[in-house]
Amino acid sequence: MLALAKRAWFQTSELKSGRWTSQDNVYLRGKTLGLVGAGNIAAELARLGKAIGMEVLAWTFHPAPERAARLGVTFVSLKEMMSRSDVVSLHVKLTSESRGLIGVEQIGWMKRGAMLINTARGPILDSKALVDALNSGQLGGAGIDVFDAEPIAADHPLLACQQVVLTPHNADQTPEGMELLNAGVVDNVIAFLQGHSRNRVV
């Protein structure tokens, strides 16, 4: 979100190409952050968004007042969240319900020039709709860490879009992040062997 708001990739690319292209950055303070999903990662992004002065809205398959209070967010409908947010970030697991959740209609609800981030799973977001929205100016940018097929094909049209920050499904690839993931695996195995499985995916 920060790299996208600062147009970091675009401006770096312009400088490397010998062009001094000045473009307005996006001031995030006072803007609205919309979260699709309300799990642990979304909760952390909500905390960070509020720390820089953003209002945080969220949509989830399972809203509850106590959950909203715990996260410090306001749960609204998907349409309201998409239409009110300046930045929308996806944080749901890939299931039959979430596959293709964000497509042409949902992107059309967004403010013109808003930014969309996907660090969840590629198939949650319709990639053709994303590319079309970027090229038309409906979206002001996208930050994408996950793709329909990985690695992304060298001729994928998303690679030709300007206002994008793309990473190779490595958003959590830090030594600390990997340590947390590995510890989580061990904890899950121990819990299963002790007869009380946790983090079940059905």
Indicate which residues carry an active-site annotation.
Answer: 121, 150, 169
User: Tokens standing for 168?
Assistant: 């190779």
Tokens 């992004």 belong to residue:
45
Cα-flanking dihedrals φ and ψ of residue 181, to 5°?
-65, -45
Cβ neighbours for 79, distance < 8 A, ≥ 6 positions apart: 106, 109
Tokens 């879009």 belong to residue:
161
Counting DSSP H helices and E strands in the chain, the numbers are 8, 7
